[in-house]
Amino acid sequence: MATVVAFHAHPDDEVVLTGGTLARAAAGGHRVVVVAATDGRVRNDDVDRVSELRNSARTLGAKRVECLGYADSGFGTEFYPDPPGRVRFARADTEEAAQRLAAILREEEADLLLSYQANGGYGHRDHVQVHHVGKRAAELAGTPRVLEATMPREMLIRVANAARLLRLPAPYGRDVLRAAYAPSSSITHRINVFRFARQKRDALAAHRSQIGTTGAAARLFAVLMRLPPQVAGLMFGREWFVDPTLPAGRVYRDIFE
Ligand SMILES: [Zn+2]
């Protein structure tokens, strides 16, 4: 049995990008650990989302949940100063953050780290930082494999077009979509998680404070819930990763392949 550590930027990212994959790994008897870089708070008086993260991760079968406690850096052109007494993750010292993650990877003797791509998916600065910190932490801890969670860009464009036709709010802007996540041709792992769609939905529901908010995950899911099932199923039933060390072309069906 293997140990997989999923490193994420914010509470709820663990569901959106890797929820089905983690549930599938846990159901297969593997040890699942979730680490969030931030507690999801942009301001010090925002709702602390770590308890929601714990409930969500447990729903997905995680045996251990850690939060590195950085502040959320916020999405958009303005990069706010640090809140009193805390550091925004995108401004954190990469080496220091990587050492903290590496300590967990070593303790867990992790076989596989799930992290993010260099473009941070849709470009959130905390997601970009996850890429740098994850990469460095795997080097420090000697973690043998890193998979970068992503989504096929063409599919997101289809979802956005369907949303537009139905006059639903677009989950991502057109400018963001042009360079978001990854072109299908570069994806190395496509995981079938249809069986875990319910667990994924329940885990998302654990993020109560996010329901009805303007967060990217909340917007994306609000749109998915109202799309025809054939379109929503494209996203709910599969998850995608890129192994940057593998040549593109062959697609694996399991993260442990
Ligand atoms: Zn996020």
The 31-38 sheet, strands edge to edge: 64-70, 31-38, 3-8, 112-116, 145-150, 238-242, 189-192
For residue 236, the one-letter residue type is F
Quote the DSSP letter at residue 28: T
Q: What is the mean pLDDT of residues 118-142?
A: 96
Neighbours of ion ligand 1 (CB under 5 A): 9-10, 13
Question: What confidence tier does 58 reach under pLDDT thresholds 50, 70, 90?
Answer: very high
Question: What confidence tier does 250 reach under pLDDT thresholds 50, 70, 90?
Answer: very high
Query: How far is 37 from 70, CA to CA, in rounded Å?
Result: 6
Ligand 1 centroid – CA 84 distance (Å):
22
CA angle 117, 179, 71 (to 5 degrees): 50
Ligand 1 centroid – CA 9 distance (Å):
5
Would residue 12 be called left, alpha or beta, if left means φ above 0 and alpha means ψ between -120 and 50 degrees?
A: left
Contact predicate 200/236, CB 8 Å: yes
- Around Cβ 208, how many Cβ atoms within 10 Å? 12
Structure confidence at residue 163 (pLDDT): 82
Structure confidence at residue 108 (pLDDT): 98
The CATH 3.40.50.10320 portion of the chain extends over: 3-150+187-240
Question: What confidence tier does 244 reach under pLDDT thresholds 50, 70, 90?
Answer: very high
Mean model confidence pLDDT for the chain:
92
136, with CB counted inside 10 A (0-12, 13-18, 19+), is middle
Structure confidence at residue 168 (pLDDT): 78
Structure confidence at residue 216 (pLDDT): 67
Contact predicate 159/177, CB 8 Å: no
pLDDT in tens, 166-197: 887 777 778 888 899 999 999 999 999 999 98
Ligand 1 centroid – CA 189 distance (Å):
21
Ligand 1 centroid – CA 7 distance (Å):
11
Ligand 1 centroid – CA 14 distance (Å):
9
Whether the pLDDT of residue 68 is over 90: the answer is: yes
Ligand 1 centroid – CA 214 distance (Å):
12
Ligand 1 centroid – CA 227 distance (Å):
22
Whether the pLDDT of residue 16 is over 70: the answer is: yes
Ligand 1 centroid – CA 203 distance (Å):
15
The CATH classification number of 3-150+187-240 equals: 3.40.50.10320
Ligand 1 centroid – CA 140 distance (Å):
24
Ligand 1 centroid – CA 13 distance (Å):
5
Ligand 1 centroid – CA 74 distance (Å):
9
Note the maximum CA span of the chain: 49
Contact predicate 40/68, CB 8 Å: no
Structure confidence at residue 162 (pLDDT): 82
pLDDT in tens, 117-126: 999 998 899 9
Ligand 1 centroid – CA 186 distance (Å):
22
Whether the pLDDT of residue 116 is over 90: the answer is: yes
Q: What is the mean pLDDT of residues 39-44?
A: 94
H or E element that contains 252: none
Ligand 1 centroid – CA 142 distance (Å):
26
Query: How far is 157 from 142, CA to CA, in rounded Å?
Result: 37
Pairing of strands 145-150, 112-116: parallel
Query: How far is 194 from 241, CA to CA, in rounded Å?
Result: 16
Ligand 1 centroid – CA 111 distance (Å):
24
Whether the pLDDT of residue 221 is over 80: the answer is: no
Whether the pLDDT of residue 100 is over 90: the answer is: yes
Picking from 92-106, 145-159, 233-247, which range would have the lowest pLDDT averaged per residue?
233-247
Structure confidence at residue 49 (pLDDT): 94
Structure confidence at residue 76 (pLDDT): 83
Q: b/e per residue, 226-253, with b = 16+ CB within 10 A?
A: ebeeebbebbbbbbbbbbeeeeeeeebe
Question: What confidence tier does 217 reach under pLDDT thresholds 50, 70, 90?
Answer: low
